Amino acid sequence: MIGLLKRLRAQDWLLILVLVGFVIGQVYFDIELAGYTENIVSIMPGGDAVEILKTGGVMLLFALGSMGCTIVIGFIAAYISSYFSFALRRDIFAKVRAFSPAETDKFSTSGLITRSTNDVQQVQMATIMLLRVAVSAPVTAIWAILRIQNTSVPLTLTTAAWIVAMVAGIGIVFGIVFPKFKLVQKLTDRLNGVTRENLTGLRVVRAYNAEKYQEEKFEQVNARLTSTHLFTTRVMGVMNPLLMLVMNGITLTIYWYGAHLINTSEQAFNFAALTAFANLAMQVLMAFMMLTMLFIMIPRASVSANRIKEVLDTEISVVDKPQTTPLMCEKGGQIVFDHVSFKYPEADGYVLENICFTAEKGETVAVIGSTGSGKTTLVNLIPRLFDATEGTVYVDGVDVRDASQEELHSVIGYVPQRGLLFSGTVADNITFGGNKDEDYMETSAKVACADSFISEMPDGYDSPIAQGGTNVSGGQKQRLSIARAVDIKPEIFIFDDSFSALDYKTDREVRENLARITGDATKIIVAQRIGTIKDADKILVLDKGKIVGAGKHKDLLASCETYRKIALSQLSKEELGL
């Protein structure tokens, strides 16, 4: 947890100093209150009522002072821990947002969610306890021990022996449960993953009558998490009986041995001193009990803190250089692949090998190939979702590794394979790229042929969209995704198999609209349908990560066997003009 404390602000450290002052004040009031017990006990047998009231009044003031300090300590601890957790969630979110797919693959989605929520909560709760106990418990224990050692050395040694036994027992308990705390967090990740998978794939689960299979998978993880929780809870459950045993043992020992000292007529020791000693001994014991509560939370919080640090300390592979190069406006839309090869981290083979082509401004370049040929990987190198392993990708005459990611992304309209929508309204999703021009928003919707179904929605462009776009069809999601890309007026469009969810008529209309409205923009189209790409200015045919053909539709039918096979699998010879 110490490595995370650098996220505290200067004012938080100042508040911690203030908190320490109030902690010392609280301990002072509590110790003095225990000490005054001896005074009031010594004057009560036949004592003056005025003196009793006076002493009792002072004790009441000490009690109120302790209460006031405790309230202030609680407010300060809550404020600091709340901001601390806020800063952690903010930094985790910012870090994950900057992740490339290479880093995202290192952590599961459910794992990142758990680290942003459950783990941060564990750290927050431990921080509150740490601020309230870490200073007060040691100070209370030391202060009380210094007071009681002057009362009776034998009783002090007896109390110390009980406390040593308690600390040893606590150490054994923590040694047993600490490894289990790590397992609990990993199982929580897995449980979240199974739950998320079931919710996102609910339709498929029902379509295949796989409810029982999913239930068994969930029950398996849930049962293991529950059994681990039960183990840690049962072992930690030993703590309370252990503490009660020590508390009762100390009390019994103090009064039994104290009575023996009184009966032996030791002049320096009497019932009033015995009562004060018992109260101070309880202060020592309560201090160790508070530390025990802290030790209960710290192991799990430590595991959570390490998991958070793993995310925050992860090095991002795709970063801007200190000095970036602006894109060349006169080449707006030009894309060049210069002997580009790529392989995923820790993979043995290359996904792409020696890719060379140029897409000039305003051209439409299509990429086609069998499943797993590297089409999506190729287009992902343009917005720099990955960096090329070998060779160079140029956009507008600039190596994408030298350009600012923000500037690079601002000139690219990217439409992924699966249309992804965000919770909000239709308008929010179309203007997601930052262009809030309502007239152009409607134009973008018309280009994507989305205006027809938007107008049928109850509130038109203000109609709500559920998270992930679950309240619209696949084709509607895809059209809204295309409209979103059009709305930012990019120099380059990347359509990663984005037309597959559209029927042939809509597919043709969208492409015609794009050609008419965005004629100056370069378009990279990944597709499986020959009908979608046959009018492209250039078609790249990929096979096992290599370009095995490049040219126009008619030329490739004659010169590229791979392309010809793909075409004949979809259209007849007559339709292809063969």
Tell me the pLDDT tens digit for each residue of 283-304.
Answer: 777 777 777 777 767 777 887 8
Note down the domain range covering 261: 7-312
pTM (two decimals): 0.74
pLDDT at 62 (0 to 100): 85
Q: Read off the pLDDT of residues 167-179 as tens digits, 9 standing for 90 and up.
A: 777 777 777 777 7
Q: Which position has the higher pLDDT, 47 or 209?
A: 209
pLDDT given at position 213: 85
- Output the pLDDT for position 39: 61
pLDDT of residue 473: 85
486-515 pLDDT, tens digit per residue, is: 999 899 999 988 888 788 888 889 888 988
CA angle, 264 then 265 then 269, to 5°: 105
Q: What is the mean pLDDT of residues 323-332?
A: 81
Q: Which of 312, 339, 369 is the last residue of a domain?
A: 312
DSSP per-residue string spanning 15-65: HHHHHHHHHHHHHHHHHHHHHHHHHHHHH-TT--HHHHHHHHHHHHHHHHH
pLDDT (0 to 100) of residue 64: 92
Q: What's the pLDDT at 37?
A: 67
Asked whether residue 284 falls in the same domain as residue 342, the answer is no
Q: Same structural domain for residues 289 and 335? A: no
Q: Please spell the DSSP secondary structure of 67-88, one letter per residue.
A: HHHHHHHHHHHHHHHHHHHHHH
For the cut 70, the answer to whether the pLDDT of residue 401 exceeds it is yes
Least confident piece of the model among 1-10, 215-224, 377-386: 1-10
Q: Is residue 21 part of a domain?
A: yes
- CA of 434: how far to CAs of 99, 429, 484, 538, in Å? 21, 10, 10, 32
> Does any domain span residue 475?
yes
274, 372: one domain: no
428 in the same domain as 292: no
pLDDT band at 358, cuts 50/70/90? very high
- Say if CB 205 and CB 211 are below 8 A apart: yes
Confidence band for 186, pLDDT divided at 50, 70 and 90: confident
Q: Report yes or no on 443 lying in a domain.
A: yes
Residue 347 sits in the same domain as residue 299: no
Cβ density class 403-434: b for 16+ within 10 Å, e for less: bebebbbbbbbbbbebbebeeebbbbbbbbbe
Collect all residues with Cβ–Cβ distance below 8 Å to 540 and sequence separation of at least 6. 357, 365, 366, 367, 368, 547, 549, 550
User: What local confidence, expressed as pLDDT, does residue 133 receive?
Assistant: 81
Q: Answer yes or no: do 26 and 99 share one domain.
A: yes
- Residue 65: CATH number of its domain: 1.20.1560.10
**Residue at 464 is within a domain:** yes
Q: Which of 200-214, 247-261, 481-495, 563-577 has the largest mean confidence? A: 481-495
31 close to 282: Cβ distance less than 8 angstroms: no
Higher pLDDT, 395 or 129: 395
Q: Are residues 269 and 356 in the same domain?
A: no
| Domain end residue (candidates: 278, 312, 346) | 312
| Domain-located, residue 407 | yes
Residue 60 lies in a domain: yes
Domain boundary among 286, 312, 338: 312
DSSP 431-483: TTTS---HHHHHHHHHHTT-HHHHHTSTTGGG-EE-GGGTTS-HHHHHHHHHH
197 and 103 share a domain? yes
Q: How many domains does the chain have?
A: 2
pLDDT of residue 266: 53
CA–CA separation, 191 and 213 (whole Å): 15
61 in any annotated domain: yes
**Quick one: pLDDT at residue 345?**
76
Q: How confident is the model at residue 44 (pLDDT cuts 50, 70, 90)?
A: low
Q: Is 57 within a domain?
A: yes
- Confidence (pLDDT) at 502: 83
Q: Name the percent of the chain lying above pLDDT 70.
A: 94
pLDDT for the residue 286: 75
Tens of pLDDT along 409-461? 989 999 988 878 888 999 999 998 887 888 889 999 999 999 989 988 888 88
pLDDT bin (cut points 50, 70, 90) of residue 265 is low
Same domain, 284 and 335: no
What would the pLDDT profile of 447-483 be if each residue is shown by its tens digit?
Answer: 999 998 998 888 888 999 888 888 888 888 999 999 9
For residue 452, the domain's CATH number is 3.40.50.300
Mean pLDDT lowest among 32-46, 187-201, 514-528: 32-46
Q: pLDDT per residue over 89-137, tens digit each?
A: 999 998 888 887 777 777 777 778 888 888 898 888 888 888 888 777 7
pLDDT category of residue 400 using cuts at 50, 70 and 90: very high
Q: Is the pLDDT of residue 46 over 60?
A: no
First to last CA, the chain: 70
Q: Are residues 259 and 405 in the same domain?
A: no
| Averaged confidence pLDDT in the chain | 83
Q: In terms of domains, do 429 and 388 share one?
A: yes
Please tell me whether residues 570 and 451 are part of one structural domain: yes
Quick check: 149 pLDDT over 80? no
Q: Express as a percent the part of the chain with pLDDT over 90.
A: 20
Which SS3 state, helix, strand or coil, does residue 385 take? coil
